[in-house]
Amino acid sequence: MKKDDSISRLDAVAHTDKCALGKPDSPRFTKSQELVYELTVADAMRRKVITTTPRTLMSELREILRANRISGTPVIDNGRLAGVISIEDFIMWLAAGEPDCPIGDKMTTRIDTLFAHEPLIHAVGKLEETGYGRIPVVDKASGDLVGIITKGDIIERLLRKLEIDFHTEEIHRYRASHIFEDIMGDKVALTFQSAVKGQDFSLAGSASSRLKKTLERLGIDPQIVRRAAIASYEAEMNLVIYTDGGTVTASVQPDRIRIDVNDAGPGIPDIEQAMQPGFSTASEWVREMGFGAGMGLVNIRKCSDRMELVSTVGKGTHLRIHIDIHADKSKG
Amino acid sequence: MLDEIVRLLDARLIGRTTRLEKRVRMACGSDLMSDVLAFIKADALLLTGLTHVQVVRTAEMADVAVICFVRGKQPAADVVELADSALIPLLVTDLTMYEACGRLYSQGLPGCHEKR
């Protein structure tokens, strides 16, 4: 495997990295630098590795590279990493007009490897230092090949990571935990409502998902948000399974969350029976999906501090869930 | 740690959230989402044979750290997409539910009832 200039150099990262290594406190320490220290080789490497053996013929190599759209492979002999063969080796062989021979005769045997747990910066450094296009990743204990890493893999991973971080930051940027301090009034409540479509299994849960995100943004304790989300999701599932739809309305005050779940029918004939663990009238398709086991209302009660259920057959059902924000009781 | 679990289960990571340093403190294996919602703890691994979108919704609500699909079942693209947006890593193992749970339990990963 020779110098690989066909792949664009990872200049942005490799260059700034050198500054960072020299002066760790440098104000020019950028997000991408931070990430190559934070991520590991395992985060960026490709796990599915196409390999060849020393006995594979050079004439077969072209098809292997083409079919898999890769520019080189590790060469494995009896389970051990024996070398690396690249497209450059292939071109050299072709240019020399030599007769067909096994890969073992042309591969690079002086191999640089990386361990999966090493920080990604080591991969950046090693690719730059050796000029190789790819570096095999081996298990520290066994020496077995576990993956392969190229500059392309690193760039792809960094971009993906930046995107995910951006997404997470978006949520934090719109944090609204100060909202209750900013609004004056003897009594302040924030109310938000979502409509739920009945019988639509694929959309079920989206109202509770939105509720959860909103509560997180309000800076409410994660344990309490979790209880509210589970209770709301169970109630939303009931709307989807048993009714033609309804609404989930949350009202948040500094010291409590109230979730109202309303629908217009069919109603529950016997509430006491419906509250029994295991009692369910759900149809087969619902049960196949892992729901309708008669635990919904029981679980809602478990997650809430108080719960009220009123239902009239033919008219509809009204479920009210109360969760105290400053309660010490850690339920769920 | 998640990378340890990937190794023990011979699992593959799918989706875009691939943070292998995510901590997993316990696990729960079930195809009954009602039970998962009732008993699973935050930061747990969920092993399941179901691959529909409500598995991810359940995990999202219950702050599940990782979902692992057993018996090599591959979820559909919309399921992976939802997990990506909820930043939940997805694993697929070819092991059966029984074997997957057995391997993890024998290596010291507790169930959600014990860790309290």
pLDDT for the residue numbered A313? 94
Average pLDDT score over residue span B19-34? 84
Q: Which of A122-126, A143-147, A234-238 has the highest mean pLDDT?
A: A234-238
Give this prediction's pTM. 0.64
Q: Is A42–B17 a contact, with Cβ atoms under 8 angstroms apart?
A: no
Chain B environment of A237 (Cβ under 8 Å): 54
DSSP letter string, B57-105: HHHHHTT-SEEEE-TTPPPPHHHHHHHHHTT--EEE-SS-HHHHHHHHH
d(CA A108, CA A123) in angstroms, rounded, equals 19
pLDDT for the residue numbered A3? 44
**Binning pLDDT at 50, 70 and 90, where does residue A169 land?**
low
pLDDT over 70 at A328, yes or no = no
Same domain for A159 and A208, yes or no, is no
Same domain for A38 and A127, yes or no, is yes
Same domain for A159 and A29, yes or no, is yes
CATH code of the domain in which A47 resides: 3.10.580.10
pLDDT digits (tens, 9 = 90+) for B64-106: 999 999 999 999 999 999 998 888 999 999 999 999 999 999 9
pLDDT for the residue numbered A110? 78
Same domain for A155 and A267, yes or no, is no
Q: Is B34–A295 a contact, with Cβ atoms under 8 angstroms apart?
A: yes
Same domain for A202 and A146, yes or no, is no
pLDDT digits (tens, 9 = 90+) for A244-285: 999 999 999 989 999 999 999 799 999 999 999 999 999 888
Q: Is B50–A289 a contact, with Cβ atoms under 8 angstroms apart?
A: yes
pLDDT for the residue numbered A33? 73
pLDDT for the residue numbered A37? 81
Mean pLDDT for all residues in chain A: 84
Tell me which residue of B19, B38, B4, B25 sits closest to B90, measured CA to CA: B19
Q: Which residue has the higher pLDDT, A167 or A110?
A: A110
Same domain for A24 and A145, yes or no, is yes
- Asked if residue A197 belongs to a domain, the reply is yes
Question: Scanning every residue of chain A, which has its alpha carbon at the shortest distance from the alpha carbon of B11?
Answer: A47
CATH code of the domain in which A301 resides: 3.30.565.10
CB-count burial class (<10 Å; 0-12, 13-18, 19+) for A30: middle
Question: Scanning every residue of chain B, which has its alpha carbon at the shortest distance from the alpha carbon of A35?
Answer: B19
Average pLDDT score over residue span A232-242? 95
Same domain for A150 and A265, yes or no, is no
Same domain for A265 and A220, yes or no, is yes
Q: Is B31–A290 a contact, with Cβ atoms under 8 angstroms apart?
A: yes
Inter-residue long-range contacts of B76-79, CB under 8 Å, 24+ positions, other chains counted? B76/B51, B78/A202, B78/B53, B79/B51, B79/B52, B79/B53, B79/B55
End-to-end CA distance of chain A: 57
Q: At what angle do helices A11-22 and A120-130 cross, to 10 degrees?
A: 110
pLDDT over 90 at A21, yes or no = no
Chain A nearest CA to B104, separation (Å): 20
Residue with tokens 């399941």: B48
pLDDT over 70 at B4, yes or no = yes
d(CA A227, CA A121) in angstroms, rounded, equals 41
Q: Which residue has the higher pLDDT, A38 or B98?
A: B98
Query: Which candidate in A35, A37, A43 is best for mutational testing of the B interface (most B CBs within 10 A)?
Result: A43
Q: Is B34–A299 a contact, with Cβ atoms under 8 angstroms apart?
A: yes
Which residue type sits at A223?
Q
Strands in A145-150's sheet, in edge-to-edge order, are: A114-115, A134-138, A145-150
**Binning pLDDT at 50, 70 and 90, where does residue B30 land?**
very high
pLDDT digits (tens, 9 = 90+) for B42-58: 889 999 999 999 999 99
Same domain for A94 and A22, yes or no, is yes
pLDDT for the residue numbered A175? 67
pLDDT for the residue numbered A285? 87
- Asked if residue A308 belongs to a domain, the reply is yes
pLDDT digits (tens, 9 = 90+) for A192-236: 999 999 988 889 999 999 999 999 888 888 899 999 999 999 999
Q: Is A116–B63 a contact, with Cβ atoms under 8 angstroms apart?
A: no
- Asked if residue A3 belongs to a domain, the reply is no
Domain residue limits at A309: 179-324
Same domain for A253 and A209, yes or no, is yes
pLDDT for the residue numbered A307? 96
Total domains in chain A come to 2
d(CA A265, CA A256) in angstroms, rounded, equals 28
Average pLDDT score over residue span A116-124? 90
- Asked if residue A56 belongs to a domain, the reply is yes
- Sequence-distant (6+) residues with CB within 8 A of A23 are none
Average pLDDT score over residue span A290-300? 91
What's the CATH class of domain B2-106? alpha beta
